[in-house]
Structure 1
């Protein structure tokens, strides 16, 4: 097998957030910045941005055959994970899945959402813009996400304060996939 070094990928990604149901950039616009009216750049990240797909399959077996005869998908879990390097109240609000913000002359504040667990959470969408093979661009859109990671703000003299984020993708509908991935090809 010959190796095509143009298919090797290395480099940072940019992460954007938008409202659940926000107008998505078209596939043809994969190499363009998403509309700033609908999407917000989350700023710098540390240790990269990672897309994960964890699929669980249940085995099908029969007495007459020793090998697995088939499998059925029983669970799928898609995530987009990073550490947000810009420890703003806006990024904190996003990773705490909403809340209340206020601002005035020389100040701004944030209070997390503490409503009942029966209340629908504030889902949002994320776009991961990174590289694809041949130095083109790849866009991964998580259409309905929530942060499911613990959030901590560590203030230490020898380490940068980061906001960890693990955006879990949720079911949208029977006709709308929760994830959309597009690669630029020319």
Structure 2
């Protein structure tokens, strides 16, 4: 990656990412995270579910709100403090599997039979205690300095819940996609809610 001054075409990035969801509930020890040196390798399928084909891109967004510090004697803002932050993953899943739907809607597997399989939304008093999930977005980053190949960039969102408006929509002329949004939450004072790893 070229961080030097001047025009660096190798720093331009284009291309889709792969979205993975950790198959098990969030673990605050983070022991399941792939090693930093494995940034260019697909994660183990036994632990990470590959959501498959997407349509329209996968976004990792950070929205920060800064509240200004002011004073009666001055017209200018004196500074600011970060008072709110939203970290999200959004995208459209094109593979309309029951597993993708279960993760997007926080559903559990119900009964199955010879010609059917059931998924249910969680209900009852404990429906407000959904399991937190960890998401991993594997995409491209800037090229190596000599431009010989693109390096990988991985984003791990450590503690997330499905949020936003998701729907199944059947239309005559449009391919069906499952819109997803996962909101990330506080982990601890020493663990960032999101980690970005660049291959070097």
Fold conserved (TM > 0.5)?
yes
Distance 1:104 1:48, change over 3 A: same
CA distance in 2, matches of 1:161, 1:146: 23
Cα distance in 1 between the residues matched to 2:126 and 2:89: 24
Which ranges in structure 2 are unaligned for 5 or more consecutive residues? 144-149
Instruction: Identify the residue that residue 119 of structure 2 maps to in structure 1.
Output: 110
Decide whether the 8 Å contact of 2:141 with 2:198 is kept in 1: yes
Deviation at 1:122? Answer: 1.5
SS at match of 1:176: coil
- The answer to whether the Cα contact below 8 Å between 2:138 and 2:153 also exists between their aligned partners in 1 is yes
Kindly provide the CA deviation profile for residues 3-58 of structure 1, in whole angstroms up to 9, marking residues without a partner as x: 10000000000000012126011111000001111101001111000010000010
CA separation of 1:117 and 1:70: change in aligned 2, threshold 3 A: farther
Q: Cα distance, 1:118 vs. partner?
A: 6.9
After TM superposition, the score normalised by the length of structure 2 is 0.87
Give a deviation string over 1:147-169, Cα, whole Å, max 9, x none: 11212111112111111101110
How far is 1:64 from its partner?
3.3
Measure how far apart 1:69 and its partner are: 1.4
Partner residue in 2 for 1:75:
84
Partner of 2:13: 9
Would the alpha carbon gap of residues 71 and 14 (structure 1) be closer, same or farther in structure 2, given more than 3 Å must change?
same
Match of 2:166 in 1: 151
| Partner of residue 141, structure 1 | 156
TM-score (norm 1): 0.93
